[in-house]
Amino acid sequence: MNRNAKVIVIGAGAAGSYCGYLLDREGFNVTILEAHDRVGGRTYSVDNVDLGGSWVSTQQPNVYALCKKLGLELIPQYDSGSTVSVFNGVRSLIPGGLATIMQDTNVKSLEVIETFEKWSRDLNFEDKFFLEMDQISAEKWLKQNIKDSDIIDYFLTLIGGITTTHPDKLSMLFWLYFLRQGRGIRCLSEIKDAAQEFRINGGAQTISLKLTKDLDVKLNQCVVEVKNQENGQYQVITQDNNVYIADLVVCAVPANLINNIKFNPGLEPGRTHLYNGMHMGCVTKVVVLYDRPFWREAGLTGTCFSTQSPISACFDGSGDGYFAIISFIPHIEDNPKEYTDEEILLQLSQFFDNKQALTPVKIYRKDWRGEKYARGCYFSAPRIGDAGLYKYLTRPNKNIYFIGTETANEWYGYIDGAIESAKRAFNQIKFDFSKGMV
């Protein structure tokens, strides 16, 4: 390997941190330019509390193996007791934790879930049947194909909750693509052997902090231009007019923000069109600390799913030495109402039927709409009708490699997808080097 080859990685989220780490180990001369004053991107942990991405799973082989390699302690998600469900204003207790919620849904809903899962497994981007589903939103598909309005509402809530995006903004094909990447609805929404299985002691941001510990990371460096020079090298230019020279560039910024960087020469028109249409979902994540786990004492898991605002879902979020409830407030409507801490606590007290919820020790709250270098969360999704352009997500442009969770082949939108994308680009860079293409 050419040990003098200079790589600039743009962005120090999970993807950029891991790709930088792998390339550094391989002997490349790596510098990571990060716009923020911290690494971690959409993982952000304060006082051991995750305000961004958090859960990892044995079903997510890339991030699970990386956590083991980095010696991170995984805390199993608490799931003993009954789970609360509030559908259309009716509160019910479901014994046996989150896994039983699916069994509790009615037969017609289960049939729809089976159909979605079969189609997601069979998904073929060449097939007319599927391509037609790229022309219709998930919401429109549900309304055209399901008669029962309760079942439509159930799926609108489910899709909006899992993706943090209104189902009228996602194509039906993208929803199936997302399901396939996340191994189906059960795996995406449950705890045991599923996406919400473990949290990382110290917080998920630790992944990026550990990976970049010995790397050359320059913070507060927002990249605004990438210019290919006549000698083949790239000039990477920041907002403050700092210029970095690179033989190859790894662009690890969220796909909805790539067009904020001016590429010279310009990127392929199809790619630019795709990035223009990428739109982020959004939630506010609220973590409420309590002096005791009153929900556990009452035989509850701490998990609740609700179709009633503001909180769509909450979970036990207790960690080393503290007890907490994590809540998600989706912002999928165009003009979502803003909620006070008191309104949030009131809803928690109704979920758990317990006034102790009204007297927290501390409240952490983060609205990801205000995050300048993400502009939302959990992920950005392509516009309806752009399936023919998804190929650009993973494809390099000359010696510019694109990574990040939106470019994943597995677990799109998750930390695992970010890690998988970093590995993919690393292998491709090694291959291109071995062929003398870089």
Ligand X SMILES: Cc1cc2nc3c(=O)[nH]c(=O)nc-3n(C[C@H](O)[C@H](O)[C@H](O)COP(=O)(O)OP(=O)(O)OC[C@H]3O[C@@H](n4cnc5c(N)ncnc54)[C@H](O)[C@@H]3O)c2cc1C
Interface residues with ligand X (CB under 6 A) are 10-16, 33-36, 41-43, 52-55, 222-223, 252-254, 257, 260-261, 283, 285, 368, 373-374, 377-379, 404-405, 413-416, 418
- Closer Cβ to ligand X, 13 or 293, answer by number: 13
- Closer Cβ to ligand X, 223 or 246, answer by number: 223
- Closer Cβ to ligand X, 12 or 357, answer by number: 12
User: What is the closest distance, in whole angstroms, from the C-beta atom of residue 377 to ligand X in the complex?
Assistant: 3
User: What is the closest distance, in whole angstroms, from the C-beta atom of residue 25 to ligand X in the complex?
Assistant: 18
User: What is the closest distance, in whole angstroms, from the C-beta atom of residue 180 to ligand X in the complex?
Assistant: 16
- Closer Cβ to ligand X, 262 or 355, answer by number: 262
- Closer Cβ to ligand X, 175 or 368, answer by number: 368
User: What is the closest distance, in whole angstroms, from the C-beta atom of residue 356 to ligand X in the complex?
Assistant: 25
- Closer Cβ to ligand X, 41 or 97, answer by number: 41
Cβ distance 403 to 252 under 8 Å?
Answer: yes
User: What is the closest distance, in whole angstroms, from the C-beta atom of residue 336 to ligand X in the complex?
Assistant: 15
User: What is the closest distance, in whole angstroms, from the C-beta atom of residue 204 to ligand X in the complex?
Assistant: 7
User: What is the closest distance, in whole angstroms, from the C-beta atom of residue 137 to ligand X in the complex?
Assistant: 23
- Closer Cβ to ligand X, 54 or 109, answer by number: 54
